[in-house]
Chains A and B, each alone.
Chain A
């Protein structure tokens, strides 16, 4: 009789532990989802800001058609990739970031533009949006790291395996050309 009670007791304890771990995993997964939503908000904000920027810049930058078109193209491409996975999307957004950086770098050559209040306000919003993107990416990647650790570590990995928790994908932004090592030729 005692043996039966002991077994029941052990089962109940295991069940309680199982539920506790499961709930904690759900909490972490939600944090990852929430962090992803944060990135999404900022990326959308950037899509919205770019047309305004182009409209303001158009009148001043007569000789930068190529740079401007690159930004518009990168923006549209990134927007098309919006429903893709974290990895692919990060790549498209990285391209957009570098195209924008190139555009904002040539602004230095246009003093009139730099004095335009509208442009200055837009520049602040764009700079801040870029920062917010990288800060939300930081937070997202930290959340993913924490969540993935739990999925892989004992004992939570058993619970995760049984209930189908999948590892999160990191959002690594490095434009393709930045990632390539510079070619050095010895000729």
Chain B
């Protein structure tokens, strides 16, 4: 019944069309200002957009994962993570287990990519793997899987390509205006005052366009985050898992090294969030974490209707976040109990060790345990046949 969410994306579609209109506008203005011909500008805008769309559609995933420095893992690399992803795949009714990537970064974050559910992937940071217990990890993965299931990934890819095109065109337009502006204004000075006003308006609009496009982009992204939280609670039947994961994420201070403005909305929480500062509502890709936690914790059951009820309590009746078609199919679902995992100190060190072992292994390092108990990490570029233990001096064969 969750695919119904997809069929009710009217608001998102309207916003995407809004961005498209901004793109047309900027193309038109480019034409007017530089070529004295609106069509020329429109053609350029379309060409840039077309090329970026093609690249984004076919190469977007690998570019994004490559930029984040993500490495693909299999079941044996980290059985628990693999199992959790598989569990959420089953709960959501996806047909294929998404590829799983790990980003070597102490920051706590995760994201999903893929133009269709068959070609999807989830990526999580090693910090997250290390800090979260099973239930919390399940909540985060549930959130990412629902981005895939609800086709948010595709929607965000389309909008980020639109945004990118608008930003690029506006950037070059302003550059050229400063370089070639003099010649242009001298030529047009004979055209009279009316043309100068049009030119001024065009320049202002070109400068404003990327900002407007960005605001629309943020609006789309925020809405999808709430929806993904609601779906995660439904899949796991345990909203507390995601809530407590978000709490840990909010408390951590490290920022993600590899994120940038364009990729920010892909993440579970905004990677640029500054500590102790509530992002203003319009310019944030993600809703405030504290509010997301509050909604999740106040849920009486696990259904979409339960989430909607709490959301309306926070935002006012009538401002729903769950599409009506999905609500109509929502039926009462009860919450489950917490998982059996005890979060003891011993457990935490063990988890930290497992995660760091995994990261070394993914980097093709060889691990040799010396007889004295010291673990030696041998880099893949090491050519020798033996390595001396720095602790006890024994020579170990590689």
Contact = CB atoms under 8 A, between A and B. Distances in A.
B331 A128 contact: no
B93 A139 contact: yes
A139 B90 CA distance: 7
B329 A128 contact: no
Given A121-B79, A138-B237, A142-B1, A128 B90 contact: no
B5 interface: no
Contacts of B93: 31, 35, 139, 143
Instruction: Give the size category of A's interface with B.
Output: 20 to 34
Given A121-B79, A142-B1, A146-B329, A128 B237 contact: no
B87 A131 contact: yes
A132 B1 contact: no
Nearest to B235: A135
Interface in A107-158: 121, 124-125, 127-128, 131-132, 134-136, 138-139, 142-143, 145-146
Interface of B: 1, 79-80, 83-84, 86-88, 90-93, 134, 235, 237, 329, 331, 336, 339-340
Chain B interface secondary structure, helix, strand, loop or mixed? helix
Contacts of B80: 124, 128
Contacts of B91: 135-136, 138-139
Contact of A38 (B84, B90, B237, B336): B90
A125 B86 CA distance: 12
Interface of A: 31, 35, 38, 42, 104, 121, 124-125, 127-128, 131-132, 134-136, 138-139, 142-143, 145-146
Query: Which of A124, A127, A131 is most buried by chain B, counting CB atoms within 10 A of its CB?
Result: A131
Contacts, number: 45
A31 B2 CA distance: 13
A125 B83 contact: yes
Give the 7 A-B CB pairs with smallest separation, nearest first.
A128-B83, A135-B91, A135-B90, A131-B87, A136-B90, A139-B93, A135-B87
A63 B99 CA distance: 44
Nearest to A133: B90
Given A135-B235, A146-B329, A125 B87 contact: no
Contacts of A104: 340
